[in-house]
Amino acid sequence: MKKKLTQLPIWIAYFFILLFCYAAISKIFDFENFQVQIAQSPLLSAYAGFVSYAVIIIELLIVLALIFTSTKRLGLYASLGIMVAFTVYIFLILNYSEFIPCSCGGILEKLGWTEHLIFNIACVFLAITAIIIIEEKSSKRFSTYCIRMISVVALNTSVVVYLFFSSEQIIKKENNFTRRFMMHPTLEEKSLQLSDSHYYFAGYDNENIYLGNRKFPQTLLTVNTALSNQTSIRINLDNMKHPFRNLKLAVKAPYYYIHDGTVPVIFRGKIGDSKARTISLQDAYFNQLIVLDSLHFALRTQSSETQQFVLADFNLNAGNKKLQLRPDILQKQIDGVFDIDGSFIADNFRSQLIYTYTYRNQFIVMDADLNVQKKMNTIDTVRLAKIESKRLADGIHKMSAPPLKVNLRSAVHKNLLFNQSDLMGKHESKKAWKEASIVDVYRTDKPEYVGSFYLFKKDKHSISDFMVTDKYLYVIINDKIIQYQFTKPITKYFTSGEAENRSKE
């Protein structure tokens, strides 16, 4: 037994040799992608060039140290150090970063962030076990090698924490604009407990609100507008053989639609009926869809010629001309993909479509035929999208640095656009930003900024979706729907009234 125990450090060393060889070689063979992914990290973005080379070199040096008997002890201490660094890095990303980057190659490509954190912790304990056995065999005093291990852990933790605080990150910065907060524009009325936190708003009518579920995409939840009753059905699709990736729900009475533009397919069912039938298959690929009529849609798709996002009219009654691209609506600034990303929404009351850019201060107002009526600005100063992207050899665009998000999500009702902003204005409380989200309100019939209001977190959870009706603002926070009643500062603008501040175009 004792002999087997003394052999354990050798087997642990072999494990780390295989681990770091695999990790380093996979990064070398896909170095361009690895470097782009490092640059996405809010923790390492300022050091992407140096770190991308340093990690590979360190992993290979550790392998060399572990191979030779004379340097095996040093290699195990180095293994402990780098695994501690990786563990602290992932912990900070998961718990303190506002931007969760893509995975960084190697085994991390196969595991999720949480799973890789657990894997790293296990590796840390393996390295500690091997070091203890080797040091005991060499008759070293416990206090001596214990101090060494603590020093290695402390040093590597300190380095990663320093990088976290010193690296240039995309944070909420003070911009050259001032918000005007309305006096009590909403009053919290009631809330309803949901079964989980994966719901989103799919639509509404005079009596009910309809919700889809990201985790269970064939679930349609119906909640009455008083939030006093809820019913759920599981949608049965007439064809389940498609390789679905991103099923989503949309409701426009009397039908619901379940669609996946990556397949591409659209199913339709009648509200109250669990059976949904295919109404479109292989007609158009898309990544956003708005229901205009029972067989008429507005889409955001990607041009096969330019690879850029474009809006399109999609009419299943139009014979051979079902899809009509409108490439002139979304204006390219940098890459035509990330720089024109945004949310595509509809004001059904006024038959208007709104496209709000994610990374710049502009939204576009269109009629139901996708004719541009107005292009207006939000009140912040980000006119040019602050992103860095790279097109890889396989043609896929990837962010090469964390982007500056301007607008997170939007809702529109009767000539008012409710836009959740991600930028702090002048003279705003940092404490309030930590405790709440800010919604800016604009008119869509003319370029006017109405005002702003806070939506405070519940149990430290921020809003994940919101929806606007004549009288109420419905918000999803974690696993609850919360109903806020609009007061006069908002409702007066549904018909007429002067704005409290004016935005500049």
Q: Cα(309)–Cα(303) distance, rounded to whole angstroms?
A: 6
pLDDT of residue 169: 41
The verdict on 362 and 486 lying in the same domain is: yes
The model's pTM:
0.71
Tell whether 28 is covered by a domain.
yes
Tens of pLDDT, residue by residue over 182-202, are 888 999 999 999 999 999 999
Q: β-strands 275-281, 436-443: how paired?
A: unpaired
Q: Cα(153)–Cα(128) distance, rounded to whole angstroms?
A: 10
pLDDT of residue 390: 66
What mean pLDDT value characterizes the chain? 86
Tell whether 171 is covered by a domain.
no
Confidence of residue 502 (pLDDT cuts 50, 70, 90): very low
Q: What's the angle, vertex CA 201, arms to CA 493 and CA 218, rounded to 5?
A: 160
Tens of pLDDT, residue by residue over 420-444, are 998 888 767 778 888 999 999 999 9
Range of the domain at 410: 186-222+243-494
Identify which of 424, 449, 447, 446 has the alpha carbon closest to the alpha carbon of residue 434: 424
Average pLDDT (328-350) is 88
In this model, does residue 498 exceed pLDDT 70? Answer: no
Residue 343 or residue 386, greater confidence = 343
Those residues with Cβ within 8 angstroms of residue 403's Cβ, 6 or more apart along the chain or in another chain: 170, 338, 359, 385, 386, 387, 388
Question: Where a domain ends, among 166, 199, 214?
Answer: 166
The answer to whether the peptide bond before residue 101 is cis (omega within 30 degrees of 0) is: no
pLDDT of residue 160: 86
pLDDT of residue 92: 85
In this model, does residue 9 exceed pLDDT 50? Answer: yes
The verdict on 115 and 261 lying in the same domain is: no
Those residues with Cβ within 8 angstroms of residue 131's Cβ, 6 or more apart along the chain or in another chain: 9, 73, 76, 77, 80, 145, 149
Those residues with Cβ within 8 angstroms of residue 321's Cβ, 6 or more apart along the chain or in another chain: none
Residue 229 burial (CB < 10 Å; 0-12/13-18/19+)? exposed
* Termini Cα distance of the chain: 78
Cβ contact 252:203 at 8 Å: yes
Tell whether 159 is covered by a domain.
yes
Tell whether 328 is covered by a domain.
yes
The verdict on 138 and 216 lying in the same domain is: no
User: Picking from 326-335, 358-367, 379-388, which range would have the lowest pLDDT averaged per residue?
Assistant: 379-388
In this model, does residue 2 exceed pLDDT 60? Answer: no
Q: Cα(402)–Cα(102) distance, rounded to whole angstroms?
A: 11
Instruction: Give me Rg for the CA atoms of the chain.
Output: 27
Confidence of residue 481 (pLDDT cuts 50, 70, 90): very high
Name 232's bridge partners: 221
The verdict on 149 and 199 lying in the same domain is: no
In this model, does residue 295 exceed pLDDT 90? Answer: yes
Helix ranges (H only) for 258-357 are none
Those residues with Cβ within 8 angstroms of residue 277's Cβ, 6 or more apart along the chain or in another chain: 238, 267, 268, 269
User: Picking from 43-47, 71-75, 327-331, 431-435, which range would have the lowest pLDDT averaged per residue?
Assistant: 43-47
Tell whether 233 is covered by a domain.
no
Name 437's bridge partners: 455
Identify which of 413, 484, 197 has the alpha carbon closest to the alpha carbon of residue 475: 484
Long-range contacts of 160-164 (CB under 8 A, 24+ apart): 160/43, 160/85, 160/88, 160/89, 160/92, 161/88, 161/92, 163/43, 163/44, 163/47, 164/43, 164/92, 164/96
Q: What's the angle, vertex CA 204, arms to CA 200 and CA 207, rounded to 5?
A: 130
The verdict on 80 and 193 lying in the same domain is: no
Average pLDDT (350-357) is 92
The verdict on 158 and 87 lying in the same domain is: yes
pLDDT of residue 433: 83
Identify which of 480, 451, 448, 447 has the alpha carbon closest to the alpha carbon of residue 463: 480
| Residue tagged 């354990």 (tokens) | 8
Identify which of 365, 403, 409, 408 has the alpha carbon closest to the alpha carbon of residue 384: 403
Question: Where a domain ends, among 133, 166, 199?
Answer: 166
Tell whether 178 is covered by a domain.
no
Average pLDDT (484-493) is 92
Laid out side by side, the sheet with 255-260 consists of: 236-237, 275-281, 265-270, 255-260, 248-252
Tell whether 132 is covered by a domain.
yes
CATH number of domain containing 482: 2.120.10
Q: β-strands 323-326, 342-347: how paired?
A: unpaired
Tens of pLDDT, residue by residue over 214-226, are 999 999 999 999 9
For the chain, how many structural domains are there in total? Answer: 2
In this model, does residue 255 exceed pLDDT 70? Answer: yes
User: Picking from 63-67, 212-216, 497-501, which range would have the lowest pLDDT averaged per residue?
Assistant: 497-501
The verdict on 308 and 389 lying in the same domain is: yes
DSSP string computed for 225-282: TTSS-EEEEE-EES---S--S--EEEEETTEEEEEETTTTEEEEEETT--EEEEEEES
The verdict on 390 and 256 lying in the same domain is: yes
Q: Cα(310)–Cα(404) distance, rounded to whole angstroms?
A: 22
The verdict on 157 and 207 lying in the same domain is: no
Tens of pLDDT, residue by residue over 89-140, are 888 888 876 455 555 545 555 667 788 889 999 999 999 999 888 888 776 6
Tell whether 504 is covered by a domain.
no
Reduce the DSSP state of residue 488 to 3 states and report it.
Answer: helix
Helix ranges (H only) for 30-98 are 31-40, 48-67, 72-96
Neighbours of 285 (CB within 10 A): 15
Average pLDDT (462-477) is 95
pLDDT of residue 500: 43
The verdict on 135 and 215 lying in the same domain is: no
User: Picking from 294-298, 343-347, 424-428, which range would have the lowest pLDDT averaged per residue?
Assistant: 424-428
pLDDT of residue 29: 85
The verdict on 73 and 196 lying in the same domain is: no
The verdict on 335 and 449 lying in the same domain is: yes
Tens of pLDDT, residue by residue over 376-424, are 999 888 888 887 766 665 556 665 566 788 999 999 998 999 999 988 8
Residue 342 burial (CB < 10 Å; 0-12/13-18/19+)? buried
What is the sign, positive or negative, of the torsion defined by CA atoms of 194, 195, 197, 199?
negative
